[in-house]
A and B are shown apart, each in its own frame.
Chain A
Amino acid sequence: MDTLEVQPLNESRRLVPSPSDRRPLEPWQDPKAAPYVRIERVTKQFGDVYAVDDVSLNIFQGEFFSLLGSSGCGKSTLLRLLAGLEYPTSGRIYIDGVDVTDVPPYSRPVNMMFQSYALFPHMTVEQNIEFGLKQDRLPRRERAERVGEMLDLLRITELRKRRPDQLSGGQRQRVALARSLAKHPKLLLLDEPLGALDKRLRENTQFELVNLQERLGITFVTVTHDQEEAMTMSSRIAVMDAGQIMQVDTPTAIYEFPNGRFVAEFIGSVNLFEGKIVEIQGDDVLIEAQFGGLMQMRSLQPHPIGTPVVVAIRPEKLRLCQTPSDDGVNRLQGVVEDIAYLGDVSIYRIRTGGGTLVEMTLTNIQPRTEQALTWEQEVWVEWSPTSGVVLTE
């Protein structure tokens, strides 16, 4: 049951926004759009540790927003600041235009799904889901209706009389989600929502979460350390490091146009070539590479001659040739040092003349046996000016 997609239900239909009030797909591009969550220069200190360091962030209604970073980067603290479980040392937080900086968690229009799920062990599934509704003093009939709606939505009706210790990990995750959705929050915070699930279940649940979010029209803010998960689910990703936000952008932009070395290296694999700009040719710049030779790259920002730069190129954007081709602008000669066969793709590591190790991936279009490449073979690695980005840090 854990692997199925969410099916539309009558009870939950009123949660789904009608097509007319569907918001534009990229509200952050619209200068007139008011952000639903506004984090203004928020800092959170624990002793002399800056868990969150001067962070400003806008999150728009209906977004599936991910805070991505390695453990200890401050992403969970930022989420807890939104929930009201921590209060900022300085800065302000606005939700739906209201300053909630000093509002305690029980008065915020926000619900959270905890990483450990935090289900009440002395209550049944039903009672867990009903808990938040009871705090709102909803009449009994309405409560029962809502609980039924949530049980249906997450397809856990048959579990309603069980206690948390009688549930599997995947079932607990559903109950936790149902409990946090029961109050119809406008903003749902999810702390590593899929962290405790095994890989296969996680992949299925990723799509299910996105479907659920789209149907309910609720703004989701999730915390994750899994870049693949963030890429799959998010409308936008904020990459965090040491309490600061390094880059906020769509998954595509984060991957294709990282704004710095940290983000480029954090998301996926990347080849970094250091060098110095020596000449500007229209949109392109000529870079004297440290490995010896010139690189011609498209630069999105103008840089003066002499700027030290790093060229970041993804492994799949490199071309591998057995003889140098005519149209290859940038070219490196080397020998195949390692081949890792992953089924769908193979990873090749090429040792260039200058000693640099270049990593590249090739899709295995042909059956493996017909591939000509082998160890110690001499090859050329080529790429065009638009295959990578020029970073200054």
Chain B
Amino acid sequence: MTRLSKRSKRLRPSGEHRLSRLINIGLPYLWLGLFFLLPFAIVLRISLAEPLLAQPPYTALWEWAEQGILQIRLNLGNFQLIREDDIYLAALLNSLWVALVGTLGCLLLGYPMAYAIATAPERRRILLLMLIILPFWTSFLIRVYAWIGILNANGLLNNFLLWLGVIDTPLKILHTQTAVYIGVIYSYLPFMILPLYANLTRLDPTLLEAAADLGCRPWRAFTRVTLPLSLPGIVAGSMLVFIPVVGEFVIPDLLGSPGSLMIGKLMWTEFFANKDWPLASALAIVLLAVLVVPFVLMQRLQQDDEDGRT
């Protein structure tokens, strides 16, 4: 009898073990809950309120009416406004477009760079990687500011081109969409290169030898072997560029034309200029939905692909 009880005791996780398991699993969830889910809930709640000239500048979501009746007021007007006023849709589409161009630009520039670093001799690789990471030592804001000096009508680029004799009159680049593209591609290039580099260094070079042995010219070997095998790196890099660029505020504000609106800039205006916190929050929620839905869909697709393999 005693023996049996002893054995059953051993099978059950000890209290200490259960505690460590709780900490192991619980801590990350606590972190996510505290710093992601809770802020999201707050933003969602503000988006359903109405602006108010008060502190805080929005109406309460619920109040206790007389006779102990809980009164909840959900204001969907903000979402209604976003749907009806074309400026928001235009800003959203423009943001997505800039993010798309930026991502493609980063991919076209970043892939050859990542490939070159991954195939460089081991000793030079560290130096090249350092050069990619080095700009992070300087403030992001200052680096974007520096581009004003380069792209200005009287800036470095125009002066250089005039000196070369390629152009007679300075090009207007600053405060155009082109300047935004340049700024976005410049700022986000490392986020494309690093995951691609990580992926490409893992590529077994004998696979390319095998492809050559089986009759592939170098370019075909690249498209048939290297490119498909680096797809996870391309996806990771593209997401790291696309998602933050959609909400980008600093680059379009400093380099872009005042006329072309991006969703990040609009949010900033609603929050700080118009003091309309609920509308700004609603915009944030819409943006999140636009970004999360394709992301989830893609992950589902990837999952299906992996399931199909086994």
Q: Mark A residues whose CB is within 8 Å of B.
A: 83-85, 104-106, 110-112, 114, 116, 118-122, 131-132, 135-136, 163, 166, 179-180, 183
The interface residues of chain B lying within 8 Å CB-to-CB of A83 are 213
Q: List 23 A–B pairs whose Cβ atoms lie within 8 Å, in order of A's numbering.
A: A84-B212, A84-B213, A85-B209, A85-B212, A85-B213, A105-B212, A105-B213, A106-B217, A111-B214, A112-B210, A112-B213, A118-B204, A118-B207, A119-B210, A120-B210, A121-B207, A122-B229, A132-B214, A135-B214, A135-B215, A135-B220, A136-B215, A166-B310
Residues of A within 8 A of B24 (CB): none
Q: Is the CB of B212 within 8 A of A104?
A: yes
- Which one, B206, B213, B215, B310, contacts A116 given CB within 8 A? B206
Q: Residue-by-residue, is B195-232 near A (CB-CB < 8 Å gives 1, otherwise 0)?
A: 00000000010110111111111001000110011000
Contact of B216 among A84, A106, A121, A166 (CB under 8 A): A106
> Besides A112-B210, A118-B210, A135-B214, 19 other CB < 8 A contacts?
A83-B213, A105-B209, A105-B213, A106-B212, A111-B213, A114-B209, A114-B210, A116-B206, A118-B206, A120-B207, A120-B211, A120-B225, A122-B228, A131-B211, A132-B214, A132-B215, A163-B309, A166-B310, A179-B214
Q: In the assembled complex, which residues on chain A have CB atoms less than 8 Å from the CB atom of B224?
A: 131
Q: Which residues of A contact B217 (CB under 8 A)?
A: 106
Contact A116 B211 (CB under 8 A): no
What are the residues of chain B within 8 A of A119 when measuring CB–CB? 210
Chain A residues lying within 8 Å of B229, measured Cβ to Cβ, are 121-122
Kindly list chain B residues whose C-beta atoms are within 8 Å of the C-beta of A105: 209, 212-213
Residues of B within 8 A of A163 (CB): 309
Give chain A residues whose Cβ lies under 8 Å from the Cβ of B207: 118, 120-121
C-alpha gap A132/B210 in the complex (Å):
9
Please name the 4 residue pairs, one residue from A and one from B, whose CB atoms are nearest each other, closest first: A135-B215, A132-B214, A118-B210, A105-B212
B302 to chain A, nearest CB (A): 14
Residues of B within 8 A of A (CB): 204, 206-207, 209-217, 220, 224-225, 228-229, 309-310
| Neighbouring B residues of A131 by C-beta, 8 Å | 211, 214, 224
Q: Bound complex: CA of A131 vs CA of B211, how far in Å?
A: 8
- Inter-chain CA distance A111–B214, complex, in Å, is 7
Asked, given contacts A135-B220, A166-B310, whether A118 binds B215 with beta carbons under 8 Å apart, the answer is no
Question: How many Å lie between the Cα of A41 and that of B73 in the bound state?
Answer: 91
Which residue of B is nearest A179, CB measured?
Answer: B214
* Contact status of A135 and B213, CB under 8 A, knowing A116-B204, A118-B206: no
Contact among A84, A104, A116, A183 for B214, CB-based, below 8 A: A183
In the bound assembly, the distance between CA atoms of A135 and B212 in angstroms comes to 10
A77 to B167, CA, bound (A): 55
Closest CB of chain B to A380's CB: distance in Å?
A: 56
Chain A residues with Cβ below 8 Å from B228 are: 122
Closest approach, in angstroms, between the C-beta of A220 and any C-beta of chain B? 15
A166 to B310, CA, bound (A): 8
Complex CA–CA separation, A119 to B309 (angstroms): 16
Q: Do the beta carbons of A118 and B209 come within 8 Å of each other?
A: yes
Residues of A within 8 A of B211 (CB): 120, 131
Min CB distance B209 to A, Å, is 5
Min Cβ gap A322→B in Å is 58
Most buried by B among A85, A179, A180: A85
- When distances are taken between beta carbons in the complex, the residues of chain A under 8 Å from B220 are 135
- Measured between alpha carbons, how far is A165 from B214 in the docked complex, in Å? 21
Of all chain A residues, which has the CB nearest B212? A105
Residues of B within 8 A of A132 (CB): 214-215
| Chain B positions within 8 Å of A183 at CB level | 214-215
* Nearest opposing residue in chain B for A122, CB measure: B228
Q: Enumerate chain A residues within 8 angstroms of B206, measured Cβ to Cβ.
A: 114, 116, 118
Q: Give the shortest distance, in Å, between B165 (CB) and chain A (any CB).
A: 43
Question: Given known contacts A120-B225, A122-B228, A122-B229, is B209 in contact with A135 (CB within 8 Å)?
Answer: no
CA distance A110 to B215 in the complex (A): 10
Docked-complex contact A106 and B310, CB < 8 angstroms = no
Residues of B within 8 A of A122 (CB): 228-229
CA distance A41 to B309 in the complex (A): 49
Q: How far is the CA of A304 from the CA of B214 in the complex (A)?
A: 55
Residue of B nearest to A136 (CB): B215
Q: Note all chain A residues with C-beta closer than 8 A to B216.
A: 106, 135
Interfacial chain A residues near B213, Cβ < 8 Å: 83-85, 105-106, 110-112, 180
CA distance A84 to B215 in the complex (A): 12
Report B221 CB to chain A, min CB distance, Å.
Answer: 8
Q: CB-CB < 8 A to B214: which residues of A?
A: 106, 111, 131-132, 135, 179, 183
State the CA gap A83–B206 with chains docked (Å).
13
Looking across the interface, which residue of chain A has its beta carbon closest to that of B208? A118
Q: Which residues of A contact B215 (CB under 8 A)?
A: 106, 132, 135-136, 183
Which B residues are in CB contact (< 8 Å) with A136? 215
Q: Look across to chain A and name the residue whose beta carbon is closest to the beta carbon of B225.
A: A120
Alpha-carbon separation in the docked complex, A320 to B228 (Å): 66
With both beta carbons as reference points, the residue of chain B lying nearest to A135 in the complex is identified as B215
A120 cross-chain contacts in B, Cβ below 8 A: 207, 210-211, 225
| B206 nearest CB neighbor, chain A only | A118
Which residue from chain B places its CB closest to the CB of A116 in the assembled complex?
Answer: B206
A277 to B19, CA, bound (A): 85
In this complex, which of B214, B220, B225, B310 has the most chain A Cβ atoms within 10 angstroms of its Cβ? Answer: B214
Residues of A within 8 A of B210 (CB): 112, 114, 118-120
How distant is B216 from chain A, measured CB to nearest CB, in Å?
5
> From residue A142, how far is it (CB to closest CB) to chain B in Å?
15
* Complexed CA–CA distance, A105 and B211 (Å): 9
Q: Which residue of B lies closest to A163 (CB)?
A: B309
**Nearest A residue to B310 by beta-carbon distance?**
A166
B220 to chain A, nearest CB (A): 7
Expressed in whole angstroms, the minimum distance between the Cβ of B274 and any Cβ of chain A is 51
Q: Which residues of B contact A180 (CB under 8 A)?
A: 213
Give the docked Cα–Cα distance between A260 and B225 (Å): 47
A110 to B217, CA, bound (A): 15
CB of A265, distance to nearest CB on chain B (Å): 33
